[in-house]
Structure 1
Amino acid sequence: MATLTGCGMAPASAVTAPSPATPSWEAEITLTNAPTVPPATTIPIPSPVPTPTSPPPTVTPTSDLLSLDERLQIFDEVWRIVDEKYLYADFGGVDWEGLYPEYRARVMQAQSRDEFYAVMINLVAQLNDNHSRFVPPAAVEAEDATASGREIRVGIGVIVQPKPDGGFVQQVFPESPAARADIRPRDRIIAVNGRPYTASDGDLQGAVGTSVRLTIARPGAKLRDVLLTRQEVRSSILPYYRRFPGDIGYVSVPTLWVHDMGEQVSGALTDLVAGGPLRGLILDLRSNRGGWGDVLSAVLSHFVRGQVGVFFGRDYVRPLVINPPAGPDLRNLSAGLVVLVDEDTASYAEVMAAVLQSEAQAIVVGTHSAGNTETIYAHALRDGSRLWLAQEGFRLRDGSNLEGRGVVPDVLLDVDWTRYSEDDDPQLLEALRLLGGGPK
């Protein structure tokens, strides 16, 4: 299941056992008295990570077990990287050194490749920071495909966010079975083949040619059933944008995790400006759980300049400096800028909202964001697996740290916007009112 979730993380970097993480940005960053590191980003988690108290899953032994030497090398490398680079020197109260003999024994006893990876997942999950994680090789491939924003998957062509009472449709891909059935963003899938939708249904992927019957709820409309046949779908994750009366632009950015999202947002803003000067803009970051550091910088570049904060590790700091954009300069909108956030706005999306609030005098509307802003770095391991590790925090120029606190809205409007149509969305209507956009 690919979702638009994420953490603050740095771009993936190739790392061998003895080597430090190296950046994969176009522009290299050199730190004073610190190793060279990549900028932060957030990444989706394609499969659930066990909680620290969860036992490794039961796995039927197979013959593809890595050799003992290979397993111990991977284990020692992961343990060492965490020991040396983890953001918190006290490991958040976890006895990291004490975990070494326990998990080394588990690694030695593993009876299959899957069981070994389950042990490694569980080891890193002990950090319990909602960011750091171990990703087995197959899941690494899925992460990379999702980050491309152009992966081919077999399914109905949606991205769904599980909710307690159904699956909230975030994106519908063009020319997909869902699009042909008139399923739209903001719809909710409440039943699958007659039973209630659950998180395990994910994005309703499956084998080519198989059918699935969905019950769809749409704000202000009656329930309806649709029968879809799964097919190969190109999953293009795109921003949504439109122009409102009063020369107010609106751009919804679903994720920062797609590598070219910065270019896409720049294109959206260019199209909006081409339709005539904008007086104001609404930037919708609701349910955006973060993404790549270069995407963060690219979007911010339309609204701010210069140093806007610092990332900090155990023994260094590095500035977040925003350079001029390739697209429109929107620093002087006469009506201003409004940013929409909710409790699912996380990581670099939170950093973006906070920087715009403090540096561009943007008005933030919605609910408190997630307060989960650590930067994670990718460490490639010898077997093709990956360690994502929280190595940096972030502070605004005034010293404010969003971790555990989140972005505090200027206008607190605590409603579940996912239950409203775009025309009736209270937070969007408030943003339009603040910008003098009037009724839609």
Structure 2
Amino acid sequence: MNRSGGELKPVEVLEVLWRELKDNYPMMEYAGFLDDSLLDEYRGRVMEASDWASAYRLMEELVNRLNDYHTRLEWPGKPVLLTPPIRLTLVEEGVIAVLEADKSTSLKPGDVVLAVDDVDAMKTFQGLLERAFGATVYARRRWALTQMLLGKPGSRVKLTVYRLGAGVFDVRLVRRRWSRGGKVVSYRRLNAEAGYIRIAAFLEGAGFTKLFDDALEALRETRYLVIDVRDNGGGSDGSAEAVIGRFIDRPVLCSISFLRRPGTNVYDKAVAVAKPRGPWRYKGRVAVLINAGCCSACEHFVSGMREAGALLVGEPTTGACGWSRRINLPGGAVLYVSKTFPIHGKTPSPLNGIRPHVEVRLSLRDLREGRDKVLETALEALEVEGGWFEPPDFDLSLL
């Protein structure tokens, strides 16, 4: 029911949604929206929607135009969609290939996907890319490749695949939840001089900090260290800062965020700084492996490590505005909207992400041979004398 007592219409929800975005989103103008033209574009389409579900999907499409993973729309009855237990990637040869797959699928990294449900895979991908969601080209590719596989839980999808030495064949996979497993923090020696630490998420609390400290202690005598945060979706900024603290002898800047006061153009500045921590600091060379799966607190970590002098290797992070505010809309829908506009290093990360010093693209050969080209590239760069990126001379007192 609307304010006048009549039946609530989807276009009325759209109007409220747009007003809340304008009053709360930290930087509509930066995202390219200087007036109400986007609202005008969607108003007619929402009015013509055949049902509420179709109208909500259009509203979600509007919200996605901000390309901000901290800003999203939820609504009653929103369907849950899943992929089969595989991940796809676009390799440097310009084809779609399996990046990883659960053993139950019989697929292997490097298998080329030719069609999805008998529709040309590349044409589908290119069509989705035109309206893809994400701050960078890598993030938009990732979104489009996921969308190709999404469907109702338990439903099946048919993939037509080419495998070197086996030719073309079909597989039918069930869409279901899939956990890649693994520990939150794991580590190993790569060789006599180099260590490797994998951080899957920045969990909050002393337990996470101890896990990392134990891993670092085990690799204390190494000359080189690789920290892998690929596909780390974030967690606690404080935990990210605690890790950074083991690599610095002075405070370093992680981010500067501008928190918008709702309904105004007044912003409060928040400066996040990592400080030295622990009984000793690692003095060897450090590389951080990143990709478009690095989000939120993980970008906070990547930014701080870059300021600390670490070498970033891989592909750009996704980038977004920060934190999130819940806003209830008429009819039961909920808008989650970012609250802050962050700067990581010297560049706003929204719509940019954080770029690596060394960008790496995978090839079919890399996947088929089981090579981790990003890790190999990082090790090679660390071992080159003069290849170390010194911490910038940044005076925090200026903030």
Query: TM class by shorter-chain length?
Result: 0.5 to 0.7
Counterpart residue identity of residue 190, structure 1: V
Contact persistence 2:157–2:173 (CA under 8 A): yes
Which of 291, 295, 298 does residue 233 from structure 2 map onto?
291
Which of 86, 108, 111 does residue 158 from structure 1 map onto?
86
Contact persistence 2:229–2:298 (CA under 8 A): yes
Counterpart residue identity of residue 430, structure 1: T
Contact persistence 1:248–1:435 (CA under 8 A): no
The unaligned stretches of length 5 or more in structure 1 are 1-66, 144-152
**1:104-123 counterparts in 2 under 5 A?**
107=46, 110-123=49-62
Structure-2 residue corresponding to 1:318: 270
Q: 1:162 to 1:213 in 2, by over 3 A?
A: same
Quote how far apart the aligned CAs of 1:384 are.
4.7
Structure-2 residue corresponding to 1:43: none
Q: Secondary structure at the match of 2:324?
A: strand
Q: 1:108 to 1:214 in 2, by over 3 A?
A: closer
Counterpart residue identity of residue 324, structure 2: Y
Q: Secondary structure at the match of 1:372?
A: coil
Which of 168, 174, 179 does residue 98 from structure 2 map onto?
168
Contact persistence 1:190–1:196 (CA under 8 A): no
Structure-2 residue corresponding to 1:235: 179
CA distance in 2, matches of 1:268, 1:225: 44
Structure-2 residue corresponding to 1:282: 226
Contact persistence 1:241–1:249 (CA under 8 A): yes
Cα deviation, 1:120-149, whole Å, max 9, x if unaligned, reads 23443555668744344444x749xxxxxx
Q: Secondary structure at the match of 2:271?
A: strand
Structure-2 residue corresponding to 1:14: none
**1:365-404 counterparts in 2 under 5 A?**
365-366=313-314, 369=316, 372-375=319-322, 377-382=324-329, 383-396=331-344, 399-403=346-350
**1:158-237 counterparts in 2 under 5 A?**
158-161=86-89, 164-170=94-100, 172=101, 177-178=104-105, 181=106, 183=107, 186-191=109-114, 197=121, 199=145, 201-202=148-149, 207=154, 215=161, 217=163, 230=174, 234-236=178-180
Counterpart residue identity of residue 357, structure 1: R
Cα deviation, 1:141-197, whole Å, max 9, x if unaligned, reads 749xxxxxxxxx6x7533444665224324x45xx623xx3x56x444524688764
Contact persistence 1:303–1:356 (CA under 8 A): yes
Quote how far apart the aligned CAs of 1:330 are.
9.9
Quote how far apart the aligned CAs of 1:337 are.
1.5
Q: 1:138 to 1:425 in 2, by over 3 A?
A: same
Structure-1 residue corresponding to 2:16: 77
Quote how far apart the aligned CAs of 1:365 are.
2.7
Greater relative CO (CA pairs within 8 A, separation 6+)? 1
| Alignment RMSD (CA, Å) | 4.7
Contact persistence 1:243–1:272 (CA under 8 A): no
Contact persistence 1:308–1:321 (CA under 8 A): yes
CA distance in 2, matches of 1:278, 1:234: 37
Quote how far apart the aligned CAs of 1:364 are.
1.9
Q: TM-score normalized by structure 2? A: 0.63
Counterpart residue identity of residue 433, structure 1: E
Quote how far apart the aligned CAs of 1:73 are.
5.5
Structure-2 residue corresponding to 1:432: 379
Contact persistence 1:285–1:349 (CA under 8 A): yes
CA distance in 2, matches of 1:330, 1:384: 51
